[in-house]
Amino acid sequence: MPTPEQPQIYLITPAEFELSQFPDALAGVLDAHEVACVRLTMATRDEDRIARAADTLREVTHARDVALVIDSHILMVERLGLDGVHLPDGVRGMRAARKELGQDAIIGAFCGASRHDAMNAGEAGADYISFGPLSGATLGDGTLAERELFAWWSAMIELPVVAEGGLTPDIIRDLTPVTDFFAIGPEIWDAGDPASELAALKAAMT
């Protein structure tokens, strides 16, 4: 169990997964670890596939009192009984999303490495800000979010901050004092035993 000083875990689903297998894998991780939130992120634009996935994963997460948010699809949140939405384009659409979903929904914003976008998203009603990637170039325009950004945000801004993209044990160890959440996805799902992989990453926090 995380101590109050430790960041919480925020899981991101694979962009592609088998609905016959992934819910069991997710359940295994949620049963083994305390997780604050799960983000459904799918590469497909097929609304039926997304809705089926959301319905199935909602049963897994809500049975364990874990919030489920969806990437981008604001209009699916209420229809599918989800807890909120993650906006991958930072401040754009934030005010409209808050107006559409109300004050109780979780709305997060990915802001790359931009303080300006993050502050604007916060002012527009974001519940959390996500910065990244930390290594590689898997998110945004390839610009990396540096530790200094997280340190500044944590010192100056009360809004929770999430670190995501290219997390390694060394990066987790370095960012543990200055972030509220680690968003973890490919780092564990590409492994044979996601729960054990997550345990190894969490160990870097201590």
Query: What is the CATH code of the structural domain delimited by 8-203?
Result: 3.20.20.70
Ranges of each domain in the chain:
8-203
Residue 23's alpha-carbon distances to 9, 48, 82, 102, 107, in angstroms, are 18, 17, 16, 29, 23
pLDDT in tens, 150-186: 999 999 999 999 999 999 999 999 999 999 999 999 9
Residue 132 reports pLDDT greater than 60? yes
Give the rounded percent of residues in the chain with a pLDDT score beyond 70: 96
Instruction: Report which of 35, 31, 24 is spatially closest to residue 185, judged by C-alpha positions.
Output: 35
Tokens of 13: 């689903």
**Do residues 112 and 141 lie in contact, with contact meaning Cβ atoms separated by under 8 Å?**
yes
pLDDT in tens, 90-118: 888 999 999 999 999 999 999 999 999 99
Measured CA to CA, the distance from residue 33 to residue 36 in angstroms comes to: 10
Q: What share of the chain is helix, strand, coil (3-state, %, to 5)?
A: 40, 15, 45
**Do residues 38 and 69 lie in contact, with contact meaning Cβ atoms separated by under 8 Å?**
yes
Residue 201 reports pLDDT greater than 50? yes
Measured CA to CA, the distance from residue 21 to residue 26 in angstroms comes to: 9
Q: What are the phi and psi torsion angles at 24 (to 5°)?
A: -70, -40
CB atoms within 10 A of CB 10: 26
pTM for the predicted model, two decimal places: 0.94
**For residue 76, what are the contacts with CB-CB under 8 A and spacing of at least 6?**
47, 50, 51, 54, 70, 82
